């Protein structure tokens, strides 16, 4: 690929910027390694890998959310191509734990190196993958350039682009464009994301709207046991900083003392801040083992790994990160459980999913704290409306459960030199 003078300048800026940030990145990497007692994290983030067998298919999932989203596709790949050695990379120790807990035992894990030429080259020499599948929005210029030079085709899976990426400095967007020009295909989660990728530099003929793979990740591995609290309750799920106060005010204005409000914060370590914000409230804290009394109005569920069970037991769910400008949280999880869902105005990170569920009358989106109070009041008073919303939500999710198969079919068409099986609907096209 011919590089212009402007592009050389962009690369120089990127290298200088990354070099300037290296002391901070090194300190953060060391802190993470110590916190998680994971020496491998320190070594591999700097491109130092122990010898071993190469990998055939490499999938990169930045952290826990991407690993969970990729799990159905990984399982399909393992079943359809059992002879292909699959490597999954993450950039966080929590992502590594998710690989161990959620993916087949045959899947290997490594940490993706920092985006430095020597570290990236060491990674590619060590594993020598035949292709790379990049989940969602991981556009690393050095990595994409090295893969192109090594003839390792890349495909973006469940591609999404944030406004922050689209609004980046012009020279940064040009670097992203070079990344996308080097990809074999962009498989986007929505039509708007597909068009945004093209706007950023992807080739139109290689960009396709496949749908959100997170629909496929919603099939539980085991039955979900609802948490019973002795009273009917609504859940405010994955709330963010400053949001709890507004939700509690709306809840009180709804005037439903016969129900309990359960708050499951996105970051349980914020408990001290939450308690300060809700000072004077009649509440109990789960991590402290406090009991729910007859006069308790709020239950703070500041524990890990219990959100889906609280959702299962709730009569109604408000998805946090949406009443404050945080981009929202994944509303597909309560939708899959057939729950009536309320979201605030800030659902930028889940705009296509919100639009789809609104179209099916399966979600209630409010614009303010006052509207949230009215939504609480109306849905708690009208169980029939909650049931209709929940049924529409569950149906919408179930109709899209085959999305992982669609992604596999597209990959077989995009990368026939890697994925080739006789029963694929794309086999003739791939050959």
CA distances from 54 to 147, 245, 340, 351 (A): 15, 52, 47, 39
Query: 44 catalytic, yes or no?
Result: no
Please name the residues in contact with 413: beta carbons below 8 A apart, sequence gap of 6 or more. 426, 429, 430
CA–CA gap between residue 182 and residue 190 (Å, rounded): 21
Q: Look at residue 90 and give its three-state secondary structure.
A: strand
Q: Which residues of 269-282 are buried (b: 16+ CB within 10 A; e: fewer)?
A: ebbeebeebbeebe
Q: Which of 70, 115, 78 is nearest to 95 (CA)?
A: 70
418-421 contacts at long range (C-beta below 8 A, 24 or more positions apart): 418/56, 418/57, 418/84, 418/130, 418/131, 418/153, 419/81, 421/80, 421/81
Q: Which of 163, 218, 217, 187 is nearest to 351 (CA)?
A: 163
The burial of 14, by beta-carbon neighbours within 10 Å (0-12 exposed, 13-18 middle, 19 or more buried), is given as: middle
CB 300 within 8 A of CB 263: yes
Q: Is 108 left (phi over 0), alpha (psi -120 to 50) or beta?
A: beta
> Which candidate in 7, 44, 53, 66 is catalytic?
66
- DSSP summary character for residue 319: E
Active-site residue list: 66
């Amino acid at each position: 690929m011919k590089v212009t003078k402007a592009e050389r300048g962009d690369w120089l800026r990127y290298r200088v910027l990354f070099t300037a940030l290296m002391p901070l990145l090194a300190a953060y990497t060391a802190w993470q390694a110590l916190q998680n007692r994971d020496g491998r994290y320190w070594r591999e983030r700097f491109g130092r890998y122990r010898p071993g067998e190469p990998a055939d298919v490499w999938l990169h999932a930045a952290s826990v959310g991407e690993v969970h989203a990729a799990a159905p596709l990984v399982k399909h790949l393992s079943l359809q191509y059992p002879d292909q050695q699959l490597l999954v990379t993450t950039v966080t120790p929590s992502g590594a734990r998710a690989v161990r807990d959620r993916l087949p035992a045959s899947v290997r894990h490594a940490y993706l190196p920092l985006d430095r030429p020597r570290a990236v080259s060491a990674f590619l020499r060590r594993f020598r993958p035949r292709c790379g599948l990049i989940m969602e929005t991981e556009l690393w210029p050095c990595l994409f350039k090295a893969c192109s030079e090594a003839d390792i085709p890349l495909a973006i899976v469940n591609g999404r682009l944030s406004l922050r990426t689209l609004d980046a400095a012009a020279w940064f967007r040009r670097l992203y464009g070079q990344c996308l020009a080097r990809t074999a295909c962009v498989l986007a989660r929505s039509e708007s994301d597909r068009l945004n990728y093209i706007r950023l530099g992807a080739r139109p003929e290689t960009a396709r709207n496949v749908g959100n793979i997170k629909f496929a990740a919603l099939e539980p591995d085991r039955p979900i046991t609802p948490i019973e609290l002795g009273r009917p309750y609504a859940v405010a799920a994955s709330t963010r900083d400053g949001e709890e106060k507004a939700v509690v005010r709306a809840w009180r204005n709804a005037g439903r003392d016969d129900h309990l409000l359960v708050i499951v914060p996105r970051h349980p370590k914020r408990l001290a801040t939450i308690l300060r914000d809700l000072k004077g409230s009649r509440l109990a804290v789960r991590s402290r083992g406090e009991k729910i009394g007859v006069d308790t109005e709020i239950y703070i569920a500041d524990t890990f790994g219990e959100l889906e069970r609280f959702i299962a037991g709730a009569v109604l769910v408000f998805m946090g990160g949406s009443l404050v400008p945080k981009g929202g949280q994944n509303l597909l999880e309560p939708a899959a459980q057939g729950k009536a869902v309320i979201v605030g105005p800030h659902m930028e990170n889940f705009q296509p999913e919100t639009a789809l569920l609104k179209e099916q009358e399966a979600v209630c989106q409010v614009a303010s704290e006052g509207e949230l109070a009215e939504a609480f009041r109306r849905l708690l008073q009208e169980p029939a409306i909650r049931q209709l919303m929940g049924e529409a939500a569950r149906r919408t999710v179930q109709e899209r459960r085959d999305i992982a198969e669609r992604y596999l079919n597209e990959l077989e068409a995009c990368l026939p030199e890697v994925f080739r099986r006789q029963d694929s609907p794309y086999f003739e096209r791939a050959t």
